[in-house]
Chains A and B, each alone.
Chain A
Amino acid sequence: MEEEPLLEVENLVTHFKTEDGTARAVDGVTFSLFPNQTLAIVGESGCGKSVTSMTIMRLLQSLPAIFPAGSIRYRGTELMTLPEAQMRKIRGGQIAMIFQEPMTSLNPVFTVGEQIIEAVLLHQQVDRAKAWSIAEESLQRVGIAEPARRLQEYPHQMSGGMKQRIMIAMALACEPSVLIADEPTTALDVTIQAQILELMRSLQASAGMGILLITHDLGVVAENADVVAVMYAGKIIEYADVYELFENPLHPYTRGLLACVPKLGNEHEKLFTIPGMVPGATNYPQGCRFAARCTHCTGTAREKELAQQPELREVKPGHWVATWSAPGYDTAPETLPSLTFRRAKEAAQVAPI
């Protein structure tokens, strides 16, 4: 029997009104997140991965964003239409978020203790003294020495890695079941990166959280993710189990991304780059959005690519891809992938790796 998904995102669309027209930042994204699972959303800058996470948290209200379609369900509750007061209870309490920039994500005028207990007091029925001890405990969990003293310090007294750990402690203090980590390690040193990711993994193991990991770092993905969704120009173009994706990438963009990763020992070789640029979000081409950069599609695949936008199709059990060039794509079912993806690990057992 399958576990119930924590988070189901169906055909999520976030468009922005700009002076150049409507920017289709997120254009029909569908995925599910299960307990104890890490789903990585990968893509280059501007592909819509951060906007996806902000939309899930409904943090784009102050911007002129429009949501023509889409559904976000948390344990079956539709978040898109949830009243703001109830949404506030979910934010931080059920779905927590860690931001890219630990340096600026803490309010400089409060001590870190005050900031953590504010979150605790908002979401748990406890008094200040209890909240304080919860804060201390969560600081200890993320491996900060002398938590009682650190709680009374201001953010400017801490290093970047420490601040990011504080952010994680803050996000975890309310024991959320979904953690959205938007490039949690981009701003950190490599050694700190490893520590933070390891920390998130161990906390996930003990709490059974679902983690939505948003990153452009394939190394981070390979280390941490269970399932990977590759995003390009506002759409998910490939979705598979992490082993399957790295072993057998089907989309030319994913292949390009993997080829871009520098390898030790190849010092005389020039690094591979994908030619061209991501098309602007206001004027996507009619066909495949990757067509202008695609060197892979030939023959009929090329013709189709220019004419018609490919949708995600399950070409193998547990492996969805949106490209005309993938083997078996033409014969795969024409429908959109089912809303609830099969749990990736189970799918991986079926699929020969």
Chain B
Amino acid sequence: MSSAQSEAFTNAPIDPPETPLPALTAKHGRSFWQIVSRSYFRRIKNQIATAYVVLLAVVAVIAPFIANGRPYTAVVDGKRVWPLFRMLSREDRIVLLAGVGFLLYLAVRFFTRKRPPETRTPVRRIALLILVVLGLVASGGIMWSMRHGDNNDLMTREDYKGITPDYDVQGAVFPPLSWGFQDSIYPQSPETQFADPSKEHWLGTDESSRDTLARLLWATRVVFGIGLISELISLAIGIVYGAFMGYFGGTVDILGSRFIELVESIPTLFLIITLVALLGREIYLIMIVLGLTGWTSIARFVRAEFYRLRKMDFVAAAHATGVPLTSILFRHMLPNGLTPILVNATFGIAGAVTIESSLSYLGLGVQPPRASWGSMLNAAGSPGGIFHFWAALAPGIMIFFTIFAYNIIGEGFRDAIDPRLNRLE
């Protein structure tokens, strides 16, 4: 140790050891989340379920780019156009930007992992800057192409494919699956409806001669969006509500609990059906209603956690350091009580998926021709009471596996957290 230090405190009895301590095995200490994630990913079922959900998320983001009836690019009447990008809706745009943003966030996290400032070298900063610039350029390009990529929104899949002779189309580059969620086989005939799987249509077709696989892929967006957005709304409300209830206790707690019971007494499914009947079919309405009614269980968990945590010494220590209340609640206490909340949220997503599928099955979900697994199931059975096996199989399996995967993730997460005390050593 430095001589200046021992000079400054000559009467200090603790002489720091002259030789450095033996190096730890890990460069940095492992945080709680690192320990949890390690034990979580040790189980193969957790790996599979997580991979499945990640795959679902990726498909949801890139669905327009892998299953689309319009080409990425083509030369129409001697002019180069970008029909697929032109077609992207506002939602597509938002989802895509969110996807790019998430990747950027991961990159930023990777380059600015918790380190003392002196280890942040210029190279890291430059790499980070390049990544950010690339992300901005990519999203800017997508936005630009939407406005300037095409000159004819009336062209159909058949026009680009050259099936109809109205346009002169050269060098069209199609996505791997050249069917969108609304492209019907041209020309339609009874043979093309509810067709069995074939080379062209791997999972067959539906009642309007649309490709089942394409619709299945597009429907992941609905499932993912419903689960995620409604759960985020629930989390935001539930955490803040439960935190104040648990921290302050007493009258706040009693009144808060009564209000939770009030909200819980509302039958969500019937509320949504009523609102859909009143305000029309709108997927966002369903998301918001699910979010506004689903927060109660989260609030209960948060309340219980905060009730336990508020008596902890480190909370008193944070108070004694002069940390403001909101910071104590959400920066110091929340991370310590987050695990049961996240487990609950995972199950909440599974619940939201179930409700959306039920609603769509009842014909109250997404607006046709938009696809959702529930509405695909409904279509497979409804016309004329004939059950179309292939049209029902794929969405049924997807609903099953998705809810199954979320439940496995929730359970795996819970198991990974529970015995943590044994693993800390």
Chain A positions near chain B (C-beta within 8 angstroms):
57, 59, 62, 64, 88-93, 96-97, 99-101, 104-109, 111, 113-114, 118-119, 122-123, 128-129, 132, 140-146, 148-149, 151-154, 156-157, 167, 170, 194-195, 198-199, 202, 205-206
Contacts and interface: CB of A to CB of B under 8 A. Distances in A.
A111 B12 contact: no
B370 to A, nearest CB: 42
Interface of B: 1-2, 5, 8-9, 11-17, 20-21, 24, 28-32, 114-118, 247-250, 310, 312-314, 316-324, 332, 335-336, 424
A131 B316 CA distance: 22
Nearest to B333: A107
A52 B229 CA distance: 49
Contacts of A167: 317
Given A62-B247, A109-B32, A57 B116 contact: no
Contact of B14 (A62, A111, A143): A143
9 contacts: A97-B317, A105-B316, A111-B114, A132-B116, A144-B16, A152-B29, A153-B28, A195-B13, A199-B13
A129 B117 contact: yes
Contacts of B17: 145
B314 A97 contact: no
A202 B31 contact: no
Q: Is chain B's interface secondary structure helix, strand, loop, or mixed overall?
A: loop
In the complex, which of the residues B310, B316, B317 has the most CB atoms of chain A within 10 Å of its own CB atom?
A: B317
B1 A145 contact: yes
A282 to B, nearest CB: 20
Contacts of B2: 140
B336 A108 contact: yes
A311 to B, nearest CB: 31
Nearest to A167: B317
Given A62-B248, A108-B32, A143 B12 contact: yes
B20 A146 contact: yes
Nearest to B120: A129
A122 B312 contact: no
Contacts of A99: 313, 316-317, 320
Contacts of A91: 319-322
Nearest to B30: A154
Contacts of A113: 116
A152 B314 contact: no
Contacts of B118: 129
A105 B332 CA distance: 12
A129 B117 CA distance: 6
Contacts of A152: 28-29, 114-116
A109 B336 contact: yes
A118 B321 contact: yes
Contacts of B250: 64
A307 B17 CA distance: 61
Given A107-B336, A157-B29, A195 B14 contact: yes
Given A109-B31, A144-B16, A156 B424 contact: yes
Contacts of B336: 107-109
Contacts of A132: 116-117
Nearest to A130: B117
Contacts of A114: 114
Nearest to B34: A154
A145 B21 contact: yes
B5 A140 contact: yes
B117 A57 contact: no
A199 B14 contact: yes
Nearest to A114: B114
Contacts of B32: 108-109, 154
